[in-house]
Amino acid sequence: MEHKKLTIIGSGPAGYTAAIYAGRANLSPVLYEGMQPGGQLTITTEVENFPGFSEGIDANELMDQMRAQCERFGTEIRSAVCVKTDLSKAPYHLWFDDETEIETDTLIIATGASAKFLGLADEQKYQGQGVSACATCDGFFYRKKVVAVVGGGDTACEEASYLAGLASKVYLIVRKDYLRASKIMQERVLNNPKIEVLFLTNTLGLYGENGVEGAHLIYNKGGEDEREYDLPIDGFFLAIGHRPNSNVFLPWVKVDEIGYIMTEGDSPRTGIPGVYAAGDVADPHYRQAVVAAGSGAKAAIEAEKYLATL
């Protein structure tokens, strides 16, 4: 059985930053990059809000740089996916889809979250060409343009309000005849003259020659006044929730009702000695690369301190 001092699972900003810190502390970490090497940022285009890049940076380039920085300080990067864990006692056991198995003294969980998509083929087709699941990341590219946001929860209302500050018009596509969002967020949306809420509406597909030029919608499906129509838009934002990638760490870690790993205060400690959670898998609120990177640094510092006590 291979034994590691520190294992990091996940290769987004949280995982890579943890690896940079741990590598520089001589912990020789091993990092498993998982299903989406480079994490969620790799599905966006340009990153303009990560400090240090005054002209912005291509998201893949940013992640490649972080990866190279990890390797420079001695992180071994592996490409397997963690499929089973036993965190009942240290050293902790991890199983991977390449049929390997390791035990580790400390573990940093940085598996991120995945935005939920509707499941339309067109979402894949126009990914990065008008389809986005992050208004804060991509909204800036839609200044003075027309966009649609799908969803009726707090995230959708927040994204619609944010986009209304940039775009010329925002449609909020809501499948029910009411918004699920909190009252205050509802009011903010309903009172914003730039936002038009399309209740009882679902998306059938997207169209466009060079990126998204519009959405095929259906109003009141199955109702007497059911109607299909096309809505011209430049951007299509999904805000129907995120799914934290925490399943494989259950039942060991504590999660909230959505599945986000609960940590102690604003630390990355999970309550299991030597096991930390960093980045979006433990963050239902901010979901930003720079925040994830910061929590990855915290997790590595905690792991280093813990290892010194063994």
Q: Any idea which residues carry the catalytic annotation?
A: 134, 137-138
User: Does residue number 158 form part of the binding site for ligand NDP (CB under 6 A)?
Assistant: yes
User: Which CB sits closer to ligand NDP, 28 or 127?
Assistant: 127
User: Does residue number 152 form part of the binding site for ligand NDP (CB under 6 A)?
Assistant: yes
User: Does residue number 23 form part of the binding site for ligand NDP (CB under 6 A)?
Assistant: no
Amino acid of residue 156: A
CA distance 205 to 131: 12
| 249: its two tokens | 């760490």
CA distance 190 to 178: 11
CA distance 107 to 188: 42
CA distance 26 to 57: 29
Q: Which stretch, 4-12, 77-85, 147-155, 208-216, contacts ligand NDP (CB under 6 A)?
A: 147-155
Phi/psi at 269 (nearest 5 deg)?
-70, 135
Residue in this structure with the two tokens 């060409």, named with its chain if needed: 129
Q: Which stretch, 52-60, 71-79, 151-159, 163-171, contacts ligand NDP (CB under 6 A)?
A: 151-159
Closest contact distance (angstroms) between CB of 134 and ligand NDP is 12
Using CB under 6 A as the criterion, what x/- string covers residues 252-291 for binding ligand NDP? --------------------------------x-------
CA distance 155 to 164: 14
Phi/psi-derived region of residue 144, left when phi > 0, alpha when psi is between -120 and 50, beta in every other case: left
Residue nearest to ligand NDP (CB): 153
| List 66, 150, 292, 303, residue binding ligand NDP (CB under 6 A) | 150
Residue in this structure with the two tokens 């420079």, named with its chain if needed: 72
Amino acid of residue 191: N
Cα distance from N-terminal residue to C-terminal residue, the chain: 20
User: Does residue number 221 form part of the binding site for ligand NDP (CB under 6 A)?
Assistant: no
Using CB under 6 A as the criterion, what x/- string covers residues 86-105 for binding ligand NDP? --------------------
Amino acid of residue 145: K
User: Which CB sits closer to ligand NDP, 2 or 256?
Assistant: 256
User: Which CB sits closer to ligand NDP, 17 or 155?
Assistant: 155
Q: Which stretch, 27-35, 63-71, 153-161, 272-280, contacts ligand NDP (CB under 6 A)?
A: 153-161
By CB under 6 A, how many residues form the interface with ligand NDP?
15
Q: Kindly give the pairing relationship between strand 275-277 and strand 242-244.
A: unpaired
User: Which CB sits closer to ligand NDP, 238 or 303?
Assistant: 238
User: Does residue number 155 form part of the binding site for ligand NDP (CB under 6 A)?
Assistant: yes
User: Does residue number 151 form part of the binding site for ligand NDP (CB under 6 A)?
Assistant: yes
Phi/psi-derived region of residue 257, left when phi > 0, alpha when psi is between -120 and 50, beta in every other case: alpha
| 145: its two tokens | 């343009």
User: Which CB sits closer to ligand NDP, 211 or 259?
Assistant: 259
Say if residues 189 and 161 touch (Cβ distance below 8 Å): yes
Using CB under 6 A as the criterion, what x/- string covers residues 177-206 for binding ligand NDP? ---x--------------------------
Please work out, in degrees rounded to the nearest 5, the angle formed at the alpha carbon of residue 276 by the alpha carbons of 28 and 306: 60
User: Which one-letter DSSP state was computed for residue 279?
Assistant: G
User: Which CB sits closer to ligand NDP, 155 or 270?
Assistant: 155
User: Does residue number 74 form part of the binding site for ligand NDP (CB under 6 A)?
Assistant: no
Contacts to ligand NDP by CB under 6 A: 118, 150-156, 158, 175-176, 180, 240-241, 284
